[in-house]
Amino acid sequence: MKGLVWFRQDLRIHDNPALFAALSHCDEVVAIYAITPKTWASHDHAPIKLKFWHDNLYHLQQALANHGIRLSIVKTDYFSELADKFAAMCQSEKIDALYFNEQYEYEEQRRDKDVSAKLKEMQIQIHTFHDQVIIPPGQILNSQGEPFKVFTAFKRQWLKQICAQQDWQLKSINQFTKRAITPDNMPADFGQTLPTASNLFPPGEAAALSKLHQFCKQAIFVYHQQRDFPASFGTSMLSPYLAAGVLSVKNCIVEILKVLNSHNLADIYAHEGPFTWLNELIWREFYKHIVYLYPQVCRHRPFLEKTKNIAWENQPTWLNSWKAGKTGFPIVDAAMRQLNETGWMHNRLRMISAMFLSKILLIDWRLGEKYFSEKLIDGDLAANNGGWQWCASTGTDAVPYFRIFNPITQSERFDPDGNFIRQYCPELSHLDNKIIHDPHGRQAKIIEAVYPKPIVDYKIRRTIALSVFKNLR
Q: What are the boundaries of each domain within the chain?
A: 2-129, 133-166+206-293, 305-470
CATH number listed for the domain at residues 305-470: 1.10.579.10
Share of the chain above pLDDT 90, in %: 88
| Residue 388 a catalytic site member | yes
- 347, 406, 419, 433: which one is catalytic? 347
Alpha helices in 145-268 (DSSP H): 151-163, 205-217, 223-226, 239-243, 249-259
In angstroms, the Cα distances linking 162 to 22, 68, 170, 265 are 26, 35, 15, 8
- 66, 168, 272, 312: which one is catalytic? 312
- Strand order from edge to edge, sheet including 71-75: 71-75, 28-35, 2-7, 97-101, 125-129
Q: How far apart are CA 60 and CA 204, in angstroms?
A: 7
Q: How far apart are CA 35 and CA 38, in angstroms?
A: 9
Domain 2-129 has what CATH class? alpha beta
pLDDT band at 91 (very low <50, low <70, confident <90, very high): very high
Q: Which of 387, 314, 307 is nearest to 352 (CA)?
A: 387
- Res 379 pLDDT > 70: yes
Contact between 223 and 276 under an 8 Å Cβ cutoff? The reply is: yes
Q: Residue 163: what pLDDT?
A: 85
Quickly name the fold that domain 133-166+206-293 has.
Answer: 1.25.40
| Residue 53 a catalytic site member | no
pLDDT band at 357 (very low <50, low <70, confident <90, very high): very high
Q: In terms of C-beta density within 10 A (0-12 exposed, 13-18 middle, 19 or more buried), how is residue 122 classed?
A: exposed
Question: pLDDT, tens digit, for every residue of 382-424?
Answer: 999 999 999 999 999 878 889 999 999 999 999 999 999 999 9
| Residue 283 a catalytic site member | yes
Write the CB contacts of 465 (distance below 8 Å, at least 6 apart in sequence).
Answer: 359, 360, 362, 401, 404
pLDDT band at 473 (very low <50, low <70, confident <90, very high): low
Q: In terms of C-beta density within 10 A (0-12 exposed, 13-18 middle, 19 or more buried), how is residue 202 classed?
A: middle
Q: How far apart are CA 153 and CA 334, in angstroms?
A: 35
Q: What phi and psi, each to the nearest 5 degrees, are found at residue 25?
A: -105, -20
- Res 445 pLDDT > 80: no
CB count in 10 Å sphere of residue 252 = 22
Bridge partners (DSSP) of residue 30 are 4
- 107, 365, 384, 390: which one is catalytic? 365
Contact between 53 and 187 under an 8 Å Cβ cutoff? The reply is: no
Alpha helices in 122-170 (DSSP H): 151-163
Write the CB contacts of 130 (distance below 8 Å, at least 6 apart in sequence).
Answer: 17, 101, 102, 136
- CATH topology match: 2-129 vs 305-470: no
| Residue 312 a catalytic site member | yes
Question: pLDDT, tens digit, for every residue of 258-298?
Answer: 999 988 888 898 999 999 999 999 999 999 999 999 999 99
- The mean pLDDT of 77-103, rounded to a whole number, is 97
- The mean pLDDT of 355-374, rounded to a whole number, is 98
Contact between 372 and 361 under an 8 Å Cβ cutoff? The reply is: no
Contact between 102 and 128 under an 8 Å Cβ cutoff? The reply is: yes
pTM above 0.85, yes or no: yes
What sign has the CA pseudo-torsion 326, 327, 330, 331?
Answer: negative
Q: Average pLDDT of the chain? A: 95
- 6, 277, 388, 390: which one is catalytic? 388
